Amino acid sequence: MDPLFLEYCKKNSPRFMTAFKGNLSEYHMFNFLSAQPGFKVECSPDDGGADFKVWCAEKSYSIEHKRARNTKYANGDLKVELQKSRDSGVSKKNRYYLASQFDIVTVDISEHTGKQDDFRFAKTNDLTRDAVYTDCLKKMQRIGIDDHSTWKTNLYEAIGEESDNDVDKA
State residue 83's pLDDT score.
Answer: 85
Q: What is the set of domains in the chain, with CATH numbers?
A: 3-159 (3.40.1350.10)
State residue 55's pLDDT score.
Answer: 92
Positions of the chain with pLDDT under 70: 47-48, 86-90, 161-170
Report the b/e string of 103-133 with b at 16+ CB within 10 A.
bbbbbbbbebeeeeebbbbbbbeebeebeeb
Say which residues have a Cβ less than 8 Å from residue 114's Cβ, sequence separation at least 6: none
Question: What pTM was estimated for this model as a whole?
Answer: 0.85
State residue 87's pLDDT score.
Answer: 60
